[in-house]
Amino acid sequence: MSKTKRKPTVLQALFPILAMLIILGVGIAFLSLPAEPLIVLAAVVSGIQAIFLGYSYDDIMNEIATKISKVWGALLILIIVGFMIGSWMLGGTIPMLIYYGLKLISPKYLALTAFILTAIVSVLTGTSWGSAGTIGVAFMGVAIGMDANLALVAGAVVSGAYFGDKLSPLSDTTNLSSAVCGVDLYEHVYNQMWTTGSAAVLSVIFYFIMGQVGAGKNVVVPETINILTGTLDQMFNWNILLLVPLVIVLVGSITKKPTIPVMLLASAIALINAAVFQGADLKSIVDVTLNGFNVEMIGMTKDEVAPELIRLLHRGGMMSMMNTLLIAVCAISFAGTMSVTGALEVVISKMLEKINSTFKLVASTIVTCLIITGVTSNGQVSILMPGEAFKDAYIKMGLHPKVLSRTLEDSVTCTECLIPWTAAGAYMASTLGVDTLHYLPYAILNYSGMIFALVLALTGIGITRLDKNK
């Protein structure tokens, strides 16, 4: 006989959320434990509560399976990105970008240049992950070669990557936010300049100042750069065709071609370049796709290469993304145990009863989005659920829906990568080689947008109201 399924009370709905925050907070911050088992423990706690409320084990597993199926495309892209980075390393695409970056970019402007160029690539492609995994990896290589502050440069790359993810008409989150709120896409993009534009200006000022004051270890010995570029010259044969994979990804993104086929094509061309220009054999070509690049693949030993170059080049491969994939699956499992009981809907409904001002409404939206992002580890869900829940509240308060669509992006799109246990946070950390919490303080654009959103809500500047005469 099946049990009666009950909706949780507000306190019951808050319990698994608080449990997860405490488990992760204590485990990661104080005990330095890995996130994966902590998330599984939080899922067990949430699952026990779901069973207490009358939901069966099969109900929970079916909900988890449904959520995994919805994000499987994104998880597959994770694996393909690892494949692509490895092939671009062996083929010489990323080493070529690093080589000319070391020669042309001044250390004083490295973080600023990383932010601006990554932002441009991200706007053109509409993908933060793609831009960080290509041009971002190249900038991290340059940073290692210059003995620069890696956390600073990683923060600049992440800021630039998410600038485009918010403002590009090609971005999935940009389209999703405008669609769920019923706002014209380009009106939504233009309206985001109030917060994202302000955050970008602040970022430019910050990265410029940090470069001038010699942040961290930003002191470069010219002889060291000459050694690194000289060694790269010996290791790889440069040719303009090495940039074809990058062009394929840019063109494919701009023309909105399917992501995975474009990445696979770019990787295939890079592997052909590896055989033709770098003299890689079949074993190395196959091995690099799984385990990533190492200098032995092009006939050198580790003793012949400076440690900085080893650290710089040994990247990529599908196996490098397995930790990110594991974190994503664990987080989705927790989200499934929460979703089956409808706990998040209960919390949001209660919150809406206490809102009586624009500032409170925007602040509540931001808090809700942050909680849902941390709990579900899914940016799409964190946009869709609050978007549907808050839409009527904004209209009743006389606010244009584009205020909501902008706030959703300010508090979801840019913040997902700042949470270590989300797929975005784990991806950026593994791809750029800097822990999430280390680059977080330097990812100025990613959290300052929320601050500007609150300031605008408090002052009324940039807040569009509905025309009551229509």
Residue 319 has what pLDDT? 87
- Contact between 434 and 143 (Cβ < 8 Å): no
In this predicted model, what pLDDT tens digit does every residue of 9-22 receive, in sequence order? 888 888 888 888 78
What's the rounded Cα separation, in Å, for the pair 338 and 335?
A: 5
Which structure tokens are listed for 157? 């790359």
Residue 351 has what pLDDT? 76
Which residue in 249, 263, 244 sits closest to 76, CA to CA?
A: 263
Residue 250 has what pLDDT? 78
Q: Mean pLDDT in the chain?
A: 82
In this predicted model, what pLDDT tens digit does every residue of 350-383 receive, in sequence order? 877 777 788 989 998 998 888 878 776 667 667 7
Report whether pLDDT(107) > 50. Answer: yes
Which residue in 334, 336, 331 sits closest to 63, CA to CA?
A: 336
Residue 267 has what pLDDT? 92
Residue 224 has what pLDDT? 63
- Contact between 453 and 370 (Cβ < 8 Å): no
- DSSP for residue 419: S
For 124-135, what is the mean pLDDT? Answer: 74
What is the rounded radius of gyration, in angstroms, for the C-alpha atoms of the chain?
Answer: 23
Residue 223 has what pLDDT? 64
Residue 216 has what pLDDT? 44
pLDDT band at residue 218 under the 50/70/90 scheme: very low
In this predicted model, what pLDDT tens digit does every residue of 262-304 receive, in sequence order? 889 999 999 999 999 998 889 999 999 898 888 888 877 777 7
Residue in the block written with tokens 């942050």: 370
Mean pLDDT check: name the lowest of 2-11, 200-209, 214-223, 237-246: 214-223
Residue 469 has what pLDDT? 53
Q: Where are the domains of the chain?
A: 71-322
Residues 203/208/211/216 CA torsion (nearest 10 deg): -30
For 54-58, what is the mean pLDDT? Answer: 90
In this predicted model, what pLDDT tens digit does every residue of 297-313 receive, in sequence order? 887 777 777 776 776 67
Report whether pLDDT(215) > 70. Answer: no
Helix (H, G, I), strand (E, B) or coil at 391: helix
Question: What is the identity of the amino acid at 288?
Answer: V
pLDDT band at residue 96 under the 50/70/90 scheme: confident
Beta strands in 140-234 (DSSP E): none
Residues 365/368/374/378 CA torsion (nearest 10 deg): -70
> How many angstroms separate the Cα of 452 from the Cα of each of 342, 358, 360?
32, 14, 14
pLDDT band at residue 232 under the 50/70/90 scheme: confident
- DSSP for residue 399: B
CA 396, 402, 406, 409 dihedral sign is positive
How many CB atoms lie under 10 A from the CB of residue 124?
Answer: 16
